[in-house]
Amino acid sequence: MCKQPEEMTAAELGMLFPILLAKHDPAWQGRYQEEADRLATALGSRIVRIHHIGSTSVPGLLAKPTIDILLEVCTDADCGTLIDTVRNLGYRYSPQPENPAPHMMFMKGYTPHGFEGQAYHLHVRYPGDWDELYFRDYLCTHPEAARDYEELKLLLKRKHEHDRDAYTSGKTEFVQYFTRLARELYGGRYAVQPLHARV
């Protein structure tokens, strides 16, 4: 019987799911929107905002062909029901105690035999002014930074093709630097409005 991905060690996961980089695919935006619509239908009023983040959200950017979605949910959403609902859409649940509340992530496209179909990472958080949105916007409007990011990712893939944690850690300084620049440019763009101010 095959191990499920959640039962595998980091080394086993690295071999089964290596770092893959692909030229930008314009279809990614449509796939994001289809998945966002499925989530909106299933979760309804529990969703506050939903965003396409990560490299697949930046036109023209080389990317891991995994669509990252940031899902902001109401702070009073029942987590057990939310987990069950998202699992019913074909996702695997991954508790994330080190990530912001409600400390959960979901993945689709990961099987005991490797990637199958379109891969998705669904990052679930309570409403906030999240760094990933600023970093995305900066890359979308600064092609030179996007090119530098591509070069860094290619270098890290060569070094850490089977070590996802090392690949991610290698990008941290770059991401933090350009996120700071983005916040200086766009400050507060994604701040959550008080309830009475929402339209």
**Distance between CA atoms of 15 and 167, rounded to whole angstroms?**
14
Residues 92-138 have pLDDT tens digits of 999 999 999 999 999 999 998 889 999 999 999 999 999 999 999 99
Q: What average pLDDT does range 69-94 have in this prediction?
A: 97
129-165 confidence digits (pLDDT tens) = 999 999 999 999 999 999 999 999 999 999 999 999 9
User: Two tokens at 14?
Assistant: 């690295």
Do strands 47-53 and 104-111 pair parallel, antiparallel, or not at all (unpaired)?
unpaired
Evaluate whether residue 75 is within a structural domain.
Answer: yes
**Closest Cα to residue 149, out of 120, 108, 178?**
178
The CATH number of residue 99's host domain is: 3.30.460.10
Angle at 12 between CA 166 and CA 122, to 5 degrees: 65
Domain count for the chain: 1
Q: Residues 22, 65: contact at Cβ < 8 Å?
A: yes
Domain boundaries, position 128? 8-185
pLDDT band at 167, cuts 50/70/90? very high
**Is residue 142, in this structure, part of any structural domain at all?**
yes
